[in-house]
Structure 1
Amino acid sequence: MIRIGAIVMSTADTERAGSFWSQALGYDRAANPDFLVPRGSGACRLHLDGQDRTHLDLWTDSEAEQRLEVERLVSLGASRVDWDYPEDADFVVLADPTGTLFCVVDTGR
């Protein structure tokens, strides 16, 4: 089942933003301090990024599920985005009907 796994937040200062948002949300810093994780279960993590734009990461549990969800989302009106993917990409970039970008990530890797 597809779910919001992370919100990627663009910020000029990941350290300051991480300090604020971890306290504001009651999240903990992960091993990578740019990732804030909820203390309980059920909430998505917050990924602070100084180079990427703000967007949702939708998580799937396998490559097969990712493929099915991408097709389902395209059938709902999303479109595939021409993207320069790294060789080992575990994500697919789509745009919603208004052009807002989001990723579908295979967390099974």
Structure 2
Amino acid sequence: HIVMANITPFRGPSCDLGTAFEIGYARKAGKKVFCYSSDSRELKQRISEDFPHFLQDGMSIEDFGYIDNLMIGCSAPIDCIDDRDDKAALKAFQCALERAQSEQQSEYLS
């Protein structure tokens, strides 16, 4: 009924492309999607700090204030813990799971 998606940056400044596809597929199928990441920096900040050569190449970087691509940022709530390690990802997952459980209870009660 729900998808818990790990959107921690993977081999680049954004989440794994397979995960991005799964988020879109789940949304189209009417499932609720909750995302978590161990890196809470906005996409533009992460690129400028971790991949500065992208900016030097004259590439334009989206700046919508999301922690990932606009399509990910707008499609689901995102819980983040900014420690950038495995324990932080687990904490962020727990926050997202609690949010999902809370929303499910609210729907049940209404």
> What TM-score results when the alignment is normalised by the length of structure 1?
0.26
TM-score scaled by length of structure 2 = 0.26
Q: Which structure has the highest helix share of the two?
A: 2
